[in-house]
Structure 1
Amino acid sequence: MGQETETKPTLIKMYVSGISASKEVKKRQQRAAMILTSIRVKFEEIDITEPGREEDRELVKKHCKNEEGNPLPPPHFFNDGEYCGSFEDFDTATESDRLPWFLKLDPAEFEFLYEKSRSASVEKA
């Protein structure tokens, strides 16, 4: 008797800063969380400023830079350890109905989002 392997649901990791003095950063973090919740994407919000999050801080420092090598403000998105992008990338993907691709979501798990994105792209053409 073969054992079925259970695929675990996608969990996006959204790295945030809980102590940012920037209202813009806080608004972006709230907007991203609201969008992910509204499309039923499971995500873990990780505050890189909390004690004990040194590895997470290093991960963000390593991957989340612009072309000049300067750090980008949070939030940042990862799927299964793979960097998806910054808030600017997230926002662009949201506005252009490309969020499932940006987040590297499993088409089988999120077929409804891919279908919605495809039909929205056809309507814009």
Structure 2
Amino acid sequence: MAEVAKIDYYYSSVSSNLEIKKQQDRIQNVLDSKKIAYNKIDIAASEDSKAKMRKIVGDEKALAPQLANGDQYCGNFEKFEEAIEGEELEVFLKLK
């Protein structure tokens, strides 16, 4: 039975910002390599998804990439990187 993804990974398929693309690739590569199941949600494809992401983040101007566990906000790319460096990724993602 497949593990149910708890993590929502909000990203944008339409971004001209190279730095954001690199951040999104990094998040996806780390989640994949650690075999952490996640829902990939494209905020460029859905205004509802963008609105939901911004509501969870608590910032009406928030940009992708963002991570959440259900309706619990985990953090942005910078917080994700800090969690990896501190070896606390599962805590950051609220899996522990």
What's the TM-score, normalizing by structure 1? 0.67
Tell which has more relative contact order, 1 or 2 (C-alpha 8 A, sep 6+).
Answer: 2
1:13-72 superposed Cα distances (whole Å, 9 cap, x missing partner): 10001111100000000000000011110011111111xx2221112222336xxx5734
What SS does structure 2 have at the residue aligned with 1:104? coil
Unaligned runs of 5+ in 2: none
Q: What does residue 33 of structure 1 align with?
A: 28
User: How many residues in Structure 1 have an aligned counterpart in Structure 2?
Assistant: 94
Rg comparison, structure with higher value: 1
Distance 1:13 1:27 in 2: 18
Q: What does residue 94 of structure 1 align with?
A: 84
Which of 40, 44, 54 does residue 47 from structure 2 map onto?
54
What SS does structure 1 have at the residue aligned with 2:36? coil
Unaligned runs of 5+ in 1: 1-7, 108-125
Q: What does residue 81 of structure 1 align with?
A: 71
What's the TM-score, normalizing by structure 2? 0.85
Identity %: 33
